[in-house]
A and B are shown apart, each in its own frame.
Chain A
Amino acid sequence: MTMLEIKNLHAAVEGKEILRGIDLEIARGETHAIMGPNGSGKSTLARVLAGQEAYEVTAGEVLYEGKDLLAMDPEERAREGVFMAFQYPVEIPGVSNTYFLKAALNAVRKHRGLPELSALDFLKLVREKMKLVQMEETLLNRPVNEGFSGGEKKRNEIFHMAVLEPRLAILDETDSGLDIDALRIVADGVNVLRQGERAFLVITHYQRLLNYIIPDRVHVLVDGRIVRSGGKELALELESRGYSWLEAAAAAQPVGA
């Protein structure tokens, strides 16, 4: 059963075309990885799916559970179950992580016709999820991401994901800037959340993350297009051969083909 269907997606930033015709299908319960060199459009794809305004969709369509994703506001997408773990999580001074998450969770629950959680139930849920992704309790009462280390920020993203229980989770270079221990903790967090119909789109520059989060499919993005798709072994091939052979192949491909 298809969850996400991207058809011929083109997108531009400040008039410059970054995505130049993406086709991708993700079925429920699958984990797909998007790899590619710097500037290939990986993060643009994540942000277009999340609905960031600076990215203008110039052509194509995206269906999410059969609905037109691009017609939804970013908050609507989130409430429908699309989650993005940010590459650079934003700091919100003075707003505690708990308060923020409670507002988020209740917005999502309201959208789904569920009652707001009481403070007590919310705290119980948060404690449970905290354990799941190995968050320290001290991070809960600190302002959202303020003064967090790089690893704490990424872990906090996974923690948000655990609380909000999305259907589709997009990880935008979640491994960047993490040492190997932090990377493992983040990957473990993701792996416990890989369950049921939840689908993942893992965006990464390096293969090493995929040692821990084993994808069902790997796609290589070069110059705004997917130039190769394969199983998890494709990631290993990229590790040993680099991206240059695919970049050369992409350059040879005529525009619009």
Chain B
Amino acid sequence: MQTSTQTIEQLARQDYKFGFVTDVEQESLPPGLDEQVVRAISQKKEEPEWMLEWRLRAYRHWLTMTEPTWANIHYPPIDYQSIVYYAAPRSNANPKSLDEVDPEILKTYEKLGIPLRERELLAGVAVDAVFDSVSVGTTFKEKLAELGIIFCSFSEAVKNHPDLVQEYLGSVVPYSDNFFATLNSAVFSDGSFVYVPKGVRCPMELSTYFRINARKSGQFERTLIIADEGAYVSYLEGCTAPMRDENQLHAAVVELIARAGATIKYSTVQNWYPGDENGKGGIYNFVTKRGKCDGAGAKISWTQVETGSAITWKYPSVILKGDNSVGEFYSVALTKGYQQADTGTKMIHIGKNTRSTIVSKGISAGHGQNTYRGAVRILKGADNARNFSQCDSMLIGDQCGAHTFPYIDVQNPLAQMEHEASTSKIGEDQIFYCNQRGISTEDAVSMIVNGFCKEVFRELPMEFAVEAQKLLAINLEGSVG
């Protein structure tokens, strides 16, 4: 028994394939945070006064806040004065076209499998690439513009679409929302902006690829997606970072607004550097993601595959305000080595006949600790609201842990709630069964885990689903990579 447990544990170890550093000349602010830094960021980005004011309000509010401690994660205190809040490649911080982008950076994205040259791209995906604090390129902009779709970096949106940004920024995640979101509001550097006009179905997947490169820098990006009445958009997000011994902070905010009859599908494959096998280094991932179904029949669907980061603190949520609106959360979170994940969702039912579905799959291997934390609130006016939650945990080896904290608050007697939970262990008997049919242990683990995650993977867009399966396989197999 002993030996076979060890084999499984070995399989849970991995090589991080994305840990290289790109050698580009950086322009960055000195470490530390004060009002001057906030002003400097705003100035570098040539922002209008209203944007700076918003940042300063956030910063001043942040000073009154303390870091939350309720999550089931443990880490040494973060020194916010040692973090670099702005880092950008020196050459052409605002490239007009990809020809102006540093070839080293283009190479980086190619190495990551994300070519930015449109002719090399899959026709179905438009990409915004964010390198440290700035967006280095957005593809297929013109083609999308023909349909009235705006897809650009956040900085550009502030300049070119100030009315939209002012109307929606902070409308779902206010600057005072929580410690990390407030910090982000003060210092966010870039991110993606999407607006899909009334009745338009976005013809391709939109995607942002985030890359942290600079040492000691934090990444604070902000994404704002608005689907106007009856619009449809599917958005993908991917992320990686170099392997470094020190921890790096990533505190992002994502706001989604779906108006009546609109659908936003938001998929994430998160593969930040998780730290080494002894738990040294890795990204601290403190992210606030929230969507608002702001109109009848709106739908927001979050799908996430979380395999990286030393710490993940993330609860993509949906406010179901419009009647008949729908919220979904599909999640796979893998923790191995010394990774810790405290992740889940909040579904807040306000409108009548609102529906939400939560499917969470947690996989723990090595010394990983995996926590599902979810809240379902059904408010007084939410007649006939329905929720279905399913939280499954899988343990690989005997050093890891799985925890589940579902919070349920139902204030309407007509509501319907279902909650299912299970915990299983990849059994040696399952592996042996596969072996006896000729399937290697590595393939068996990957097959069993993928089977476990199936309900989530089938929610991902095709290319992404394949990516996600491969990623899990790489993360779980000793010999690959």
Q: Do A and B bind each other?
A: yes
Which B residues are in CB contact (< 8 Å) with A105? 438
Q: Which of the candidate stretches B23-31, B59-67, B335-343, B425-433 sits at the interface with the other chain? A: B425-433
Which A residues are in CB contact (< 8 Å) with B455? 94
Q: Are B438 and A52 in contact (CB under 8 A)?
A: no
Q: Convert B420-454 into 0s and 1s, putting 1 for each residue whose CB lies closer than 8 angstroms to a CB of A.
A: 00000001111011111111110100011011111
Q: Are B438 and A108 in contact (CB under 8 A)?
A: yes
Q: Are A95 and B436 in contact (CB under 8 A)?
A: no
How far in angstroms is the closest Cβ of chain A from B318? 26
How far in angstroms is the closest Cβ of chain B from A44? 14
Which of chain A's residues has its CB closest to B453's CB?
A94
Does residue A104 face the partner (Cβ distance < 8 Å to B)?
yes
Does residue A123 face the partner (Cβ distance < 8 Å to B)?
no
The complex places the Cα of A79 from the Cα of B427 at a distance, in Å, of 22
Q: Which residues of chain B from 439 to 479 have a CB within 8 Å of any chain A CB?
A: 439-441, 443, 447-448, 450-455
Which of B3, B428, B441, B452 lies in contact with A75, CB distance below 8 A? Answer: B441
The complex places the Cα of A101 from the Cα of B448 at a distance, in Å, of 14
Q: Which residues of chain B from 317 to 373 have a CB within 8 Å of any chain A CB?
A: none
Does residue B123 face the partner (Cβ distance < 8 Å to A)?
no
Q: Are A73 and B439 in contact (CB under 8 A)?
A: no
Given A103-B443, A107-B443, A93 and B452 contact (CB-CB distance below 8 Å): yes
The complex places the Cα of A21 from the Cα of B316 at a distance, in Å, of 61
Which B residues are in CB contact (< 8 Å) with A54? 1, 4, 428
Which A residues are in CB contact (< 8 Å) with B436? 50-51, 74-75, 77-78, 83-84, 86
Q: Are B450 and A160 in contact (CB under 8 A)?
A: no
Which A residues are in CB contact (< 8 Å) with B3? 53
The complex places the Cα of A164 from the Cα of B4 at a distance, in Å, of 25
Given A53-B1, A92-B430, A78 and B435 contact (CB-CB distance below 8 Å): yes
Number of interface residues of B (CB under 8 A): 26
Which of chain B's residues has its CB closest to A160's CB?
B437
How far in angstroms is the closest Cβ of chain A from B429? 5
The complex places the Cα of A199 from the Cα of B160 at a distance, in Å, of 77
The complex places the Cα of A103 from the Cα of B443 at a distance, in Å, of 9
Q: Convert A76-102 into 0s and 1s, putting 1 for each residue whose CB lies closer than 8 angstroms to a CB of B.
A: 011100011010011111110001110
The complex places the Cα of A105 from the Cα of B439 at a distance, in Å, of 9
How far in angstroms is the closest Cβ of chain A from B431? 9
Given A93-B452, A100-B447, A143-B451, A107 and B439 contact (CB-CB distance below 8 Å): yes
Which of chain B's residues has its CB closest to A103's CB?
B439
Q: Are A74 and B453 in contact (CB under 8 A)?
A: no
Does residue A67 face the partner (Cβ distance < 8 Å to B)?
no
The complex places the Cα of A86 from the Cα of B427 at a distance, in Å, of 15
Which of chain A's residues has its CB closest to B457's CB?
A94
Does residue A208 face the partner (Cβ distance < 8 Å to B)?
no
The complex places the Cα of A79 from the Cα of B429 at a distance, in Å, of 19
Q: Are A94 and B450 in contact (CB under 8 A)?
A: yes
Q: Are A52 and B432 in contact (CB under 8 A)?
A: yes
How far in angstroms is the closest Cβ of chain B from A256? 29
Does residue A111 face the partner (Cβ distance < 8 Å to B)?
yes
Q: Are A104 and B453 in contact (CB under 8 A)?
A: no
Which B residues are in CB contact (< 8 Å) with A53? 1, 3-4, 428, 432
The complex places the Cα of A78 from the Cα of B439 at a distance, in Å, of 9
The complex places the Cα of A79 from the Cα of B437 at a distance, in Å, of 8
Which A residues are in CB contact (< 8 Å) with B441? 75
Which of chain B's residues has its CB closest to A109's CB?
B438
How far in angstroms is the closest Cβ of chain A from B391? 15
How far in angstroms is the closest Cβ of chain B from A26? 19
Which of B438, B447, B450, B452 lies in contact with A111, CB distance below 8 A? Answer: B438
| Central interface residue in A75, A79, A86, by most chain B CB within 10 Å | A75
Which A residues are in CB contact (< 8 Å) with B450? 94-95
Q: Which residues of chain A from 50 to 70 have a CB within 8 Å of any chain B CB?
A: 50-54
Which A residues are in CB contact (< 8 Å) with B452? 93-94
Q: Convert A109-144 into 0s and 1s, putting 1 for each residue whose CB lies closer than 8 angstroms to a CB of B.
A: 001000000000000000000000000000000010
Q: Are B438 and A78 in contact (CB under 8 A)?
A: yes
Which of chain B's residues has its CB closest to A99's CB?
B447
The complex places the Cα of A84 from the Cα of B438 at a distance, in Å, of 11
Which B residues are in CB contact (< 8 Å) with A103? 439, 443, 447
Which A residues are in CB contact (< 8 Å) with B428? 53-54
Which of chain B's residues has its CB closest to A94's CB?
B451
Q: Are B1 and A79 in contact (CB under 8 A)?
A: no
Which A residues are in CB contact (< 8 Å) with B439? 75, 100, 103-104, 107
Which A residues are in CB contact (< 8 Å) with B451? 92-95, 143
Subset of 24 A-B contacts with CB under 8 Å: A50-B432, A51-B435, A74-B435, A74-B436, A75-B434, A75-B441, A77-B436, A78-B438, A83-B436, A90-B427, A90-B429, A91-B430, A92-B433, A92-B434, A92-B447, A93-B451, A95-B450, A95-B451, A100-B434, A100-B439, A103-B443, A105-B438, A164-B437, A164-B438
Extra 19 A-B pairs, beta carbons < 8 Å, given A95-B451, A101-B437: A52-B432, A53-B432, A54-B1, A54-B428, A75-B436, A75-B438, A75-B439, A77-B436, A86-B433, A86-B436, A90-B432, A90-B433, A92-B451, A100-B434, A103-B439, A103-B443, A104-B439, A107-B438, A107-B439
* Chain A residues with a Cβ under 8 A of chain B: 50-54, 73-75, 77-79, 83-84, 86, 89-95, 99-101, 103-105, 107-108, 111, 143, 160, 164
Closest 7 CB pairs of A and B: A94-B451, A95-B451, A104-B437, A74-B435, A78-B438, A94-B454, A107-B438
